[in-house]
């Protein structure tokens, strides 16, 4: 039993782009478990774009990540010691322990998962928060009809990949936006999207237009900026835009929307959401997604960094699109 816990704290807020200097690795002794507590060895740490928002001290849906505390984050791991009747050593669990090797909890917010048919890490991806996010935005906001076209930004990512595949299962045309030929090839060939536009190729609007010959009925927005401007210009009447992420604005420089009047002229619905405010849909969403993963009908890809000390670098890389699929840190 290790007696030291390695943790990464947020020690300063970004001025513009985030950097590794905003984080600090510390070692903290592990206190003995109290009655009712459970200790988890984290195997995987989830890195997600929303964390960048939490690093800022600005008005948002969630309180900022406090300074000098363990950086927030979802985790998947194994119970190593338990003084809580609901858990026993060996249980696989998903929680929100953040960027650290061990988590100690009274059991609240800790969920046992079955990794027989679904790999443990998938509970941080397609069968976890990113999957539920994609499921909610697609089914509850966009609600595509067969034959409609759905555009998804960050299409090879943890959320986007789920959105496009579910759109296809619903009979819609799925068009991704991703950065680079390799990601676009994956989105079409492995994930089964009908088309994917490489925003790095320099012809975003023209390429999107070619990929959406009948216009766009649904947009699942993870990024904002140029991709959203281009998609908005392709929206059909009564289109729906689910706003799930706005990476383009995270560094503090506001990214305007160029033609907001299209919201009126095309009578669009634009709905921002965060999945933790819709906990009611998680059971149905995760059951459906878990079944699809177990049946290998829902594909996903992981970018895995190794070792807690590499989490900051992996996180910053993800914000720049250097990951390819769900970004994880493997801790053990």
**Residue listed under structure tokens 């053990």:** 332
- Of 77 and 224, the one with the shorter C-beta distance to a copy of itself is 224
| C-alpha distances in Å from residue 62, one per residue of 1, 6, 31, 93, 296 | 35, 26, 29, 24, 35
| Residue 178 CB neighbour total at 10 angstroms | 29
Residue number with CB closer to a copy of itself (35 or 277) = 277
Of 269 and 284, the one with the shorter C-beta distance to a copy of itself is 269
CB of 47 to a copy of itself, least distance (A): 19
Residue 147 or 272 with smaller CB distance to a copy of itself: 272
Contact 267, 31 (CB under 8 A): no
Letters for 172-211 (x = contact with a copy of itself by CB under 8 A, - = none) are: ----------------------------------------
Closest CB to a copy of itself among residues 192, 249: 249
Label residue 3 exposed, middle or buried (CB < 10 Å: 0-12, 13-18, 19+): exposed
Q: What track of x and - describes contact with a copy of itself for positions 35 through 64 (by CB under 8 A)?
A: ------------------x-----xxx---
CB of 9 to a copy of itself, least distance (A): 24
Sign of the CA dihedral running 220, 224, 230, 236: positive
Using DSSP's 3-state secondary structure scheme, residue 244 falls into coil
For the segment 121-160, give every residue that binds a copy of itself (CB under 8 A).
none
In whole angstroms, what is the distance from residue 328 CA to residue 74 CA? 10
Residue 34 or 237 with smaller CB distance to a copy of itself: 237
Alpha carbons 298 and 139: distance in angstroms, whole number: 16
Q: 158-169 and 129-136 helices cross at what angle (nearest 10)?
A: 40
Minimum Å distance from CB 277 to a copy of itself? 7
Rank residues 120 and 246 by Cβ distance to a copy of itself and give the closer one.
Answer: 246
Residues in binding contact with a copy of itself, number by CB under 8 A: 34
Nearer to a copy of itself, 180 or 249 (CB): 249
- Min dist CB 246 to a copy of itself, Å, is 4
Burial label for 271, CB within 10 Å (0-12, 13-18, 19+), is middle
The dihedral built from the CA positions of residue 307, 312, 313 and 319, taken in this order, carries a sign that is positive
In the bound complex, what is the minimum distance in angstroms from residue 16's beta carbon to a copy of itself? 16
Contacts 24+ apart (CB under 8 A), 110-119: 110/38, 110/40, 112/87, 113/76, 117/294, 118/290, 118/293, 118/294
Q: Give least dist CB 319 to a copy of itself, A.
A: 15
Judged by CB under 8 A, the chain residues 221 through 280 that form the site for a copy of itself are 224, 228, 237, 243-246, 248-249, 254-261, 263-274, 277
The least distance separating a copy of itself from the CB of residue 243, rounded to whole angstroms, comes to: 5
Residue 12 interacts with a copy of itself (CB under 8 A)? no
Q: What is the rounded distance in angstroms from the CA atom of residue 190 to the CA atom of residue 214?
A: 24
Contacts with a copy of itself, residue ranges (CB under 8 A): 53, 59-61, 224, 228, 237, 243-246, 248-249, 254-261, 263-274, 277
């Amino acid at each position: 039993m290790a007696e030291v816990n390695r943790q990464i704290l947020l020690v300063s807020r970004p001025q513009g782009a985030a950097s590794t200097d905003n984080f600090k690795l510390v070692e903290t002794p592990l206190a003995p478990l109290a009655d009712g507590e459970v200790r988890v060895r984290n195997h995987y740490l989830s890195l997600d774009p929303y964390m960048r928002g939490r690093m800022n001290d600005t008005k948002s849906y969630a309180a900022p990540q406090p300074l000098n505390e363990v950086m927030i984050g979802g985790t998947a791991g194994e119970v190593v010691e338990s003084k809580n009747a609901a858990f026993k050593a060996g249980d696989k669990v998903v929680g929100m322990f953040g960027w650290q090797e061990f988590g100690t909890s009274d059991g609240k917010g800790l969920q046992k998962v079955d990794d027989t048919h679904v790999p443990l890490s998938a509970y941080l991806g397609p069968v976890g928060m990113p999957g539920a996010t994609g499921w909610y935005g697609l089914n509850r906001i966009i609600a595509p009809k067969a034959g409609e076209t759905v555009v998804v930004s960050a299409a090879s990512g943890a959320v986007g990949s789920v959105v496009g595949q579910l759109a296809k299962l619903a009979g819609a045309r799925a068009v991704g936006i991703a950065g680079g030929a390799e990601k676009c090839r994956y989105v079409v060939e492995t994930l089964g999207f009908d088309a994917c536009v490489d925003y790095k190729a320099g012809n975003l609007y023209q390429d999107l237009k070619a990929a959406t010959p009948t216009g766009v009925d649904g947009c699942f927005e993870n990024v904002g900026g140029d991709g959203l401007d281009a998609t908005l210009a392709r929206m059909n009447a009564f289109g729906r835009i689910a706003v799930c992420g706005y990476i383009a604005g995270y560094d503090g420089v506001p990214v305007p929307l160029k033609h907001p009047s299209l919201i009126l002229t095309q009578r669009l619905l634009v709905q921002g959401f965060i999945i933790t405010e819709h906990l009611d849909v998680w059971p149905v969403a995760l059951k459906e997604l878990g079944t699809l993963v177990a049946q290998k009908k829902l594909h996903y890809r992981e970018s895995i960094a190794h070792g807690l000390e590499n989490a900051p670098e992996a996180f910053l890389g993800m914000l720049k699109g250097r990951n390819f699929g769900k970004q994880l840190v493997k801790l053990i």
